[in-house]
């Protein structure tokens, strides 16, 4: 193997001023795109594609890698600042990052997160340098049963995040899985809780929409009702230096989570969806004092952030070695590499043989991009953290604007906005009645892998068993499966014991029976409908039927037990947790429905006159009526909002949701 000379050549390629310049340019563009929740690397890379044709390979790679590498770094801004999971890489960061911002520690959360990201990125690159030359057999060792077990391990993190009533956590995860099965089954094409008359539902709901709906909408609405700033008391506590110290104090946690990130990232087909949950679960289990999780524990930021940049490095393995993209942005990356230079570089099995120097250049460009990105982010974080001291009423309309636009980008349908609103409602009530939102999201994210791997592994296993008992057992119980099984069991047992201590929704008071009971009955009714719906799928399409039927029944059973408990227990029991009884929400000067109506109005107006015109009306009305601003301030803020929206969308070449007006008349962009 000629690894060492190739490594030297790779550094020779990278350390040229022009290459570093392109890398920095990519990083800056990546940061700009990453701040936009839900767009991430795919939008950025598509934007770069036209320029890749015939470009000098190492320059093109520097530009693209600069952009891809920093998206999981910069989307931390949205998760910490606004509780918006910018991409699947920052779902778990929200849990403790956002409470930290509320406590006035946004800058500390940022720098802890960025330091962890940087370290994770570097650990990932070092690990890959050694690992990539021997990785092929290891990747091939992960067959369907192994991937199913990794998915189950991810699901088992529900145990840690289930909240005070484990049954509620399980039911929430089950509901997440059931929402994830909506649409056409992957295997047999049967419809679950969908009809061809509503084509939108047949494709299923997108992660961006569910993530925004479950986390961002409830938080925005809640903060808006309270009419204060994100950081309570409008004062900023610990600064960025504290965050770096926090990271250094937890360096071993950061090491372990980085390694988790690389390893899970290496497995093709799973990608980033589970890695931050596994890292978060690991963080909780290895922390002695668990009482602060969900309330702003800095370790809860360090763990997932260390893993998610390391994962990007791990994700390069299936991409470079097999030509199988680990994520959407990696898929575009593969396509773009084929356009570079004279087209000689083929991402895939040949890459290690013929282009080992370029392979190493990619790995270390990724690490360098992390360094540049982190430095820029830390430099910016103090200023950006000040946003948390602004009266939230002035931020909220821009956030509604951003999440609506992000939701629309996922499918370019008007229905995307309706789905965001509907999932947002679910999120609001899950939050209010202390049902674990993380558990719901884990269920949703892992719904498709669970179903796919279960069906495929089952089909191949039964095929092997037909050949012989030992053949089948050998396939199902490989050493990797057994190890993962043990890890899963241990983590579930530990998790259930610890779950009571972790309140991802903070302290919630309990109150009267009626409201929590009604919500439980609504969930049970949906689950029952979904189970009946699944049972009507004909038997030949068993693959589309078995998961919704099984998961739905289990969740329904949980609901029934909860129902029995609710009937028997007295009012004020922990099972009747309700945020409207006492605390921030109950004391808020504005009601839920009045606040939500603003968002509904924006969506309704979009349906009539299209997004940009609706936004103009929405912003003006909001600032004048709700915020009570003068005309001058209103107009300046509105112009700034619209200008920013058009600038970003124009640069990224994106459209806005059209309305009835746009169907009737042909208008120029951005009114189009």
Partner 1 sequence: MTISRFTRRAVMGMVAAAGLAAPIAAQADVDLSGKTVEWVIPFSETGGSAKWANFFAPLLSQELPGNPTVVVKFMPGAGSTKGANWFQQQKNGDGTLLFGTSGSTQFPYLLGDPRVRYEYKDWNPVMASGTGGVAYLNAEDGKKFDGSANNLKDTDFIYGSQGATRLDLVPLLAWKMLGMKVEPVFGIKGRGDGRLMFERGEANIDYQTSSGYVKGSADLVAEGKAVPMMTWGSLDENGNIVRDPTFPDIPTFKEVCEATDGCETSGEAWDAWKAFFIAGFPAQKIAFLPAGTPQEVIDTYVKAFDAVRNRDDFPTISSKRVGKYKVYVGDEAKAAVKTATTVPDSAKAYVKTWLKEAYGVELK
HSE (side-chain half, CA atoms, 13 Å) at 430: 32
Nearer to partner 1, 563 or 642 (CB): 642
Dist CA 607 CA 598 (whole Å): 14
Q: How far is the CB of 581 from partner 1 (least distance, A)?
A: 43
Find where tokens 């370790």 sit: 299
Nearer to partner 1, 164 or 452 (CB): 452
Q: How far is the CB of 231 from partner 1 (least distance, A)?
A: 31
Q: How far is the CB of 458 from partner 1 (least distance, A)?
A: 10
Identify whether the C-beta of residue 375 lies closer than 8 Å to the C-beta of residue 384. no
Q: How far is the CB of 319 from partner 1 (least distance, A)?
A: 10
Q: How far is the CB of 203 from partner 1 (least distance, A)?
A: 5
Cα 506 to chain centroid, rounded: 21
**Phi/psi zone of residue 38: left (φ > 0), alpha (ψ -120 to 50 degrees), beta?**
left
Selection from 241, 266, 33 nearest residue 147 by Cα: 266
Q: How far is the CB of 552 from partner 1 (least distance, A)?
A: 19
Q: How far is the CB of 75 from partner 1 (least distance, A)?
A: 18
Max Cα separation, the chain? 79
Nearer to partner 1, 351 or 441 (CB): 351
Q: How far is the CB of 137 from partner 1 (least distance, A)?
A: 10
Dist CA 212 CA 424 (whole Å): 8
**Phi/psi zone of residue 298: left (φ > 0), alpha (ψ -120 to 50 degrees), beta?**
alpha
Dist CA 543 CA 537 (whole Å): 10
Q: How far is the CB of 205 from partner 1 (least distance, A)?
A: 13
Nearer to partner 1, 102 or 545 (CB): 545
Nearer to partner 1, 130 or 647 (CB): 647
Nearer to partner 1, 317 or 520 (CB): 317
Dist CA 552 CA 524 (whole Å): 10
517-537 in b/e form (b: 16+ CB < 10 A) is bebbeebbebbeebbebbeeb
Dist CA 542 CA 535 (whole Å): 10
**183 strand-pairing partners:** 192
DSSP for 595-626 reads: HHHHHHHHHHHHHHH-HHHHHHHHHHHIIIII
Nearer to partner 1, 11 or 51 (CB): 51
Nearer to partner 1, 166 or 659 (CB): 659
Nearer to partner 1, 25 or 557 (CB): 25
Sequence-ordered alpha helix ranges (H) in 181-298 = 199-202, 207-211, 217-226, 240-249, 251-266, 275-285
Q: How far is the CB of 225 from partner 1 (least distance, A)?
A: 31
Nearer to partner 1, 22 or 114 (CB): 22
**Phi/psi zone of residue 350: left (φ > 0), alpha (ψ -120 to 50 degrees), beta?**
alpha
339: which 2 tokens? 């356009």
Nearer to partner 1, 45 or 302 (CB): 45
Q: How far is the CB of 448 from partner 1 (least distance, A)?
A: 9
C-alpha to C-alpha distances, 362 to 7, 55, 67, 417, nearest whole angstrom:
11, 16, 13, 38
Q: How far is the CB of 554 from partner 1 (least distance, A)?
A: 22
Nearer to partner 1, 55 or 363 (CB): 55
Nearer to partner 1, 55 or 92 (CB): 55
Nearer to partner 1, 64 or 159 (CB): 64
Q: How far is the CB of 353 from partner 1 (least distance, A)?
A: 9
Please list, in sequence order, all residues whose beta carbon lies within 8 angstroms of the beta carbon of residue 153, skipping any fewer than 6 positions away: 274, 278, 484, 487, 488, 491
550: which 2 tokens? 């099984």
Q: How far is the CB of 199 from partner 1 (least distance, A)?
A: 6
Pairing of the two strands 183-184 and 191-192: antiparallel
Dist CA 2 CA 426 (whole Å): 55
Identify whether the C-beta of residue 253 lies closer than 8 Å to the C-beta of residue 283. yes
**192 strand-pairing partners:** 183
């Amino acid at each position: 193997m000629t690894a060492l000379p190739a490594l030297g050549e790779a550094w020779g390629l990278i350390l040229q001023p022009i290459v570093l310049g392109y890398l920095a340019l990519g990083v800056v563009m990546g940061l700009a795109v990453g701040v936009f929740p839900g767009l991430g690397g795919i939008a950025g890379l598509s934007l770069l594609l036209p320029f890749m044709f015939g470009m000098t390979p190492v320059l093109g790679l520097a530009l693209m890698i600069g952009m891809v590498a920093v998206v999981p770094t910069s989307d931390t801004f949205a998760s910490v600042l606004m509780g918006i999971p910018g991409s699947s890489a920052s779902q778990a960061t929200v849990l403790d990052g956002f409470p930290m911002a509320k406590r006035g520690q946004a800058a500390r959360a940022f720098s802890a997160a960025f330091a962890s990201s940087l370290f994770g990125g570097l650990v990932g690159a070092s690990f890959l340098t050694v690992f990539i030359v021997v990785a092929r057999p290891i990747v091939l060792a992960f067959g369907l049963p192994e991937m199913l077990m990794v998915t189950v391990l991810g699901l088992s993190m529900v145990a840690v995040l289930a909240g005070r009533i484990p049954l509620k956590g399980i039911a929430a995860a089950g509901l997440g899985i059931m929402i994830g099965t909506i649409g056409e089954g992957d295997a047999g094409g049967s419809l679950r809780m969908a009809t061809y008359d509503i084509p939108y539902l047949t494709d299923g709901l997108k992660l961006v929409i569910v993530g925004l709906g479950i986390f961002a909408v409830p938080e925005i609405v809640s903060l808006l009702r309270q009419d204060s700033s994100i950081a309570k008391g409008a004062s900023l506590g610990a600064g960025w230096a504290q965050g770096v110290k926090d990271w250094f104090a937890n360096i071993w946690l950061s090491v372990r989570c980085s390694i988790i990130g690389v390893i899970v990232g290496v497995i093709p087909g799973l990608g980033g969806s589970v890695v931050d949950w596994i890292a978060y679960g690991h963080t909780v289990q290895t922390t002695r004092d668990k009482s602060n999780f969900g309330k702003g524990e800095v370790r809860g930021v360090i763990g997932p952030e260390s893993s998610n940049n390391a994962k990007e490095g791990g994700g390069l393995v299936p991409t470079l070695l097999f030509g199988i993209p680990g994520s959407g942005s990696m898929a575009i990356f593969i396509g773009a590499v084929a356009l570079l230079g004279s087209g000689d570089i083929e991402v895939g099995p040949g890459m290690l043989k013929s282009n080992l120097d370029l392979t190493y250049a990619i790995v270390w460009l990724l690490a360098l991009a992390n360094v540049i990105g982190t430095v820029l982010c830390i430099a910016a974080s103090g200023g950006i953290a000040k946003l948390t001291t602004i009266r939230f009423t002035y931020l909220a309309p821009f956030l509604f604007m951003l999440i609506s636009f992000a939701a629309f980008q996922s499918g370019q349908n008007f229905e995307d906005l309706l789905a965001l609103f509907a999932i947002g409602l679910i999120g609001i009530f899950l939050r209010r009645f202390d049902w674990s939102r993380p558990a719901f999201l884990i269920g949703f994210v892992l719904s498709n892998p669970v179903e796919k791997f279960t069906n495929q592994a089952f089909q191949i296993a039964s095929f092997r068993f037909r050949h012989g008992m030992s053949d089948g057992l050998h396939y199902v119980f490989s050493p990797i499966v057994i190890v993962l099984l043990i890890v899963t069991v241990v983590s579930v047992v530990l998790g259930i014991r610890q779950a009571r201590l972790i309140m991802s929704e903070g302290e919630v008071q309990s109150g009267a029976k009626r409201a929590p009971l009604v919500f439980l009955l609504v969930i049970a009714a949906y689950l029952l409908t979904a189970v009946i719906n699944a049972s009507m799928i004909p038997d030949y399409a068993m693959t589309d039927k078995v998961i919704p039927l099984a998961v739905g029944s289990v969740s329904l059973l949980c609901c029934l037990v909860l129902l029995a408990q609710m009937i028997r227990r007295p009012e004020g029991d922990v099972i009747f947790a309700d945020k409207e009884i006492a605390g921030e929400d109950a004391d808020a000067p504005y009601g839920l429905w009045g606040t939500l109506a603003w968002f509904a109005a924006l969506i309704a107006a979009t349906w009539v006159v299209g997004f940009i015109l609706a936004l103009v009306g929405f912003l003006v009305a909001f600032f004048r009526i709700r915020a009570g601003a003068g005309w001058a301030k209103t107009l300046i803020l509105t112009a700034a909002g619209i200008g920013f929206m058009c600038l970003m969308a124009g640069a990224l070449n994106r459209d806005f949701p059209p309305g009835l007006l746009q169907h009737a008349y042909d208008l120029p962009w951005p009114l189009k």
